Amino acid sequence: MSEALSYAQGRAHVPAPAAATARGARAIAAWLLACCALVALMVLVGGVTRLTHSGLSIVEWQPLVGALPPLGDAAWQAEFAKYRQTPEYRLVNSGMTLAEFKGIFWWEYFHRLLGRLIGLAFFVPLAWFWLRGRLERALAWKLVGVFVLGALQGALGWYMVKSGLVDDPRVSQFRLTAHLGLAFLIFGAMLWIALGLLFPRRTAAAGAPGRLAAAVAALVFAQVLLGGLVAGIRAGKAYNTFPLMNGHLVPPETFMLEPWWRNFFYNMATVQLDHRLVAWLLLALVAWLWARVAWIDAGPRARVTANLLVAAFAAQFALGACTLLAAVPVALGAAHQFVAVLVFGAALACAHALRRG
């Protein structure tokens, strides 16, 4: 009898509506975190697709009909015939067999199929939560905004592919960078919303380095964009030494293009140098952030996220050096792109734990 009374008194401190609201918030957060995992997988598959030069194997954008792969030999021959009309086939893969074509086709197909699955995984639960009245107005519009970004990402992906189907069998480095950056924005938006649902109130100690954490997260995103430029002009295939660039701190070719600003977008030496410099800057800032969090005892969540950020960035820094020294093999290059998502996620989680409000 006394145990039942104690249980009833404990329950009295948690009103039923509040408990239900908390459970609903956790359910929405779990769904968003699952979508984050799918986007991270998408970034990995996108990296493999790019590194295997598979991205131009499907020459049409068919959001609905294209969900089905070629069925039967006639369909495969028709798909292969379309590819044989592209600059990539004529200038790079002339003489490719149907079996070899299938090897690159499946990576691009899986990349597009995963994009469709992410769209469904986001839209169906969104509609369910909305129709059941589980979403507050402000939250609902944030999630609709994320869905719009996802739709834009699909269109941007095709816009990127189109740039490699004209004369030069390479996609525009600017469109590639925008495509990659938008994927990280979608990931970051879902993660931030999920963290806000799980941790609605600030728990960090007063004076916590929230601005520094936010700056680190922003710089990680900028580094991702620089990585997109490196990938877009294949700058990782040059200067495959570390820490120097073919014996130089600053290669003599850094400002060889005119006008000078073109070097930051088209010059392999400059683009790779920028990527390296930001990596060193992040190394210092991440270490400084970790020390600040440990020094002021910013709270358990801040300490955990700072530790995760240090671990993820250390792995990424080492992986980047190994990828460069090996001249960007597929496995290392894809892993480098995937771990960038983990670094960005850890940086956002740390910034959220240290936010001021």
Same domain, 222 and 247: yes
Give me the pLDDT at residue 170, please: 85
At 263, which amino acid appears? N
254 in a structural domain = yes
Q: Averaged over 79-91, what is the pLDDT?
A: 90
pLDDT above 80 (res 232): yes
- Domain assignment present for 290: yes
Question: Where are the extended beta strands (E) located within the chain?
Answer: none
Q: Is the pLDDT of residue 5 over 50?
A: no
Instruction: Tell whether 297 and 157 lie within a shared domain.
Output: no
Report the alpha-carbon distance of residue 227 to residue 222 in Å, rounded: 9
Residue 331 sits in which domain range? 204-357
Same domain, 213 and 182: no
Indicate whether 81 pLDDT > 80.
yes
Q: Is residue 9 part of a domain?
A: no
pLDDT at 205: 62
Is 231 a member of any domain? yes
Determine the angle formed by the axes of helices 137-162 and 173-198, rounding to 10 degrees.
160
Give me the phi and psi of 248, to 5 degrees please.
-120, 145
Shared domain for 29 and 43, answered yes or no, is yes
Domain boundary among 180, 200, 220: 200
User: Same domain, yes or no, for 209 and 259?
Assistant: yes
Provide the pLDDT for residue 348. 98
Distance CA(39)–CA(47), nearest Å, equals: 12
Q: For the chain, give the percent of residues with pLDDT over 70.
A: 92
Same domain flag for 161 and 235:
no
**Distance (Å, whole) CA 80 – CA 101:** 7
* Residue 13 domain flag: no
pLDDT digits (tens, 9 = 90+) for 247-278: 999 999 999 999 999 999 999 999 999 999 99
What pLDDT score does 131 carry?
92
What average pLDDT does the chain have?
90
Q: How confident is the model at residue 68 (pLDDT cuts 50, 70, 90)?
A: confident
Query: Is residue 121 over pLDDT 90?
Result: yes
**Rounded Cα–Cα distance for residues 118 and 309 (Å):** 26
Q: Which of 200, 233, 257 is the last residue of a domain?
A: 200
Q: Are residues 167 and 56 both part of a single domain? A: yes
The pLDDT score that the predictor gives to residue 18 is 55
Query: Which amino acid is residue 292, in one-letter code?
Result: R
Query: Does 109 lie in the same domain as 247?
Result: no
Residues 6+ apart with CB under 8 A from 52: 103, 104, 107, 330
Question: Same domain, yes or no, for 184 and 241?
Answer: no
Q: For the chain, what is the domain count?
A: 2
Choose one of 200, 218, 233: the last residue of a domain.
200
What does the pLDDT average to over 184-207? 87
Question: 116 and 165 share a domain?
Answer: yes
pLDDT average, residue stretch 275-303:
93
Residue with tokens 């839209």: 123
Residues 6+ apart with CB under 8 A from 126: 143, 144, 147
CB 92 within 8 Å of CB 169: yes
**pLDDT tier at 61, thresholds 50, 70, 90:** confident
State whether 155 and 42 are in the same domain: yes
Please, which pLDDT band fits residue 8 given cuts at 50, 70 and 90?
very low
Q: Are 224 and 173 in a shared domain?
A: no
Position 112 pLDDT exceeds 90 = yes
The pTM for the full model equals 0.91
Confirm whether 12 is domain-assigned.
no
Q: Is residue 4 part of a domain?
A: no
